[in-house]
Amino acid sequence: MFSNAISKVSGLRYIADSLELQSSLGRQHLLKQHFLIDGKDIDFQLNRVSVFVDLLTGIKGKSKAEGTVGQMTHVMAEKAPCPTDTGNSDKIDQLRHALSEVHDISSTLSFLQSGLTLDDIGLFEVKRFALLVDQISSILRQLNCMAVKLAETGKVIDILDPDKQRIPHFYIYDSYSNTLANLRKQYDCLIKTDLQKAEAVRVESLEVEDGIRLQLSMELKPFAKELMESLTSIADLDVWLAKATLAVKMHYCKPVIGITVTEYRQLFNPEIADALESRGKTFQPVDIDLMESPCIVTGANMAGKTVLLKSVALAQYLFQYGFYIPALKAEIVPVERVITSMADDQSELRGLSSFAAEMLNINAIILASRSHKQLLGLIDEPARTTNPHEGLALVNALLDILQKGNVRSLITTHYSGFVSDCRRLRVKGLKTDELAVKPTIETINDHMDYSLVEVQSDQVPLEALRIAAILGIDEELIAGASRYLENKRNTNI
């Protein structure tokens, strides 16, 4: 469920906290949503979000194949206020206000459905909800929105509002019973002259009121199921509207259901992008394709390889929970499971060395690869904590297994010397042609190019010493390391 995923998937809680959900009902509904693996279910959710994106942006008849919200030349363009069609603006505000008034009355409706007699509070909750359903239905009709089906609550309102006041208030009205009305009049007279008779009339009035509550509950019972369905539909509505608002505000795209290849254009990580923006910097989005086979990504430290893995993981989870994607364009293949081995996972395996924890994670990926399920494997620097010779051997063996299982996977590494014919990508790294001005600790990221290029060789660029020098590391260490590298080159000649 989504509630479990937000504690495990980097960046997902940030997305959840960014949603402008109007009700606790909507938030509870979001937390209970399941990871969707059927493309039809995902498409249904995305199309519902798309309806509200169109309402927010005033787009009519937008093609469902379009991936972008508006025409953006760059996904990290300056954020603008949510562009709401002026004709819809007031109605959307009214809808949000109505949603904020909705409470979770599922327990009350369950009691009603089971034949129990509701008390005044329960009857009030049903009346208030019926009025809100009627109001929300009216707003949706004005918006010409058919995405949500709600019950017709006119008869429920008539039962609970015999005086036609149409206000969220409930009382056993005199109009329910002439007998009750007469008893109340008698009580008002007797309370001033004869307390004993007044008390007897009061008790009789209470008995009549209990009978009316029973009768009302019996009359309302046939509507309980439809009201419960409307409660769920309104929770859906709250979630869809919140997802759409986030998509428009943050310039996310509607992903297309992929068949064989997952493709991202200008994929970015929202949480990290916002953190950089707060420091006056810009996140560099990336393009990447994932086939039905493993792909290795090489690059120096600080080249954004771990961020890439986290961004891909986040996008896959968002897609399969029915969200738009932080990218300019995306086509994503649904998977049955996303399985990872990243440094963050090691905290869950307490008492083990980093190598042991990592091997257990990788072993889980290997076992899953034999399940013949659609998987997405994301592995950060496998075998990095052991000696390079054994580490390289382990990674080669892992690539063979993933290749054999046709596992869609992305593996970052510092190693070179792979014999697998898997796809190879490299992060470009330092922009060597733009270093006329020496970078500093504060500006080094500005001189990094995080775009991916496909390469035939898996040779890792030797940039560690340059980066160490920029960071102000001791010159003797850097000079000594440079001599060792030069000696090794001469020895290999």
- Domains of the chain with bracketed CATH: 1-253 (1.10.1420.10), 278-461 (3.40.50.300)
Q: Could you tell me whether strands 423-430 and 408-413 are parallel, antiparallel, or unpaired per DSSP bridges?
A: unpaired
Across 55-93, b (16+ Cβ under 10 Å) vs e yields bbbeeeeeeeeebbbeeeeebbeeeeebebbeebeebbe
Query: What average pLDDT does range 239-265 have in this prediction?
Result: 96
Q: How far apart are the C-alpha atoms of 338 and 355, rounded to whole Å? A: 21
3-state secondary structure of 439: coil
* pLDDT of 464 above 80: no
Query: Reduced to 3 states, what is the DSSP secondary structure of residue 34?
Result: coil
Question: Which of the residue ranges 11-15, 70-74, 247-251, 419-423 would you say has the lowest mean pLDDT?
Answer: 70-74
Q: Which helix (H) or strand (E) holds 330?
A: strand 329-332
C-beta of residue 428 within 8 angstroms of C-beta of residue 453: yes
What's the whole-model pTM score?
Answer: 0.86
Per residue in 472-492, pLDDT (tens digit) is 777 777 777 777 767 766 666
Helix, coil or strand: residue 261: coil
Q: pLDDT tens digit string along 193-234?
A: 888 888 998 999 999 999 999 999 999 999 999 999 999 999
Average pLDDT, stretch 246-261? 95
Beta strands in 335-434 (DSSP E): 337-341, 375-380, 408-413, 423-430
Residue with token string 């399941």? 34
CA distance 183 to 185: 5
Q: What is the 3-state secondary structure (H, E, C) of 188-233?
A: HHHCCCCHHHHHHHHHHHHHHHHHHHHHHHHHHHHHHHHHHHHHHH
Query: CA 433, CA 375: separation in Å to the nearest integer?
Result: 40
Q: What is the arithmetic mean of pLDDT over 54-83? A: 52
pLDDT at 76: 44
Question: How many Å apart are CA 80 and CA 64, to the nearest integer?
Answer: 24
Contact 219, 9 (CB under 8 A): no
For residue 81, pLDDT beyond 70: no
Q: What is residue 380's three-state secondary structure? A: strand
- Pull the structure tokens for residue 28: 């509870």
Q: How confident is the model at residue 96 (pLDDT cuts 50, 70, 90)?
A: very high
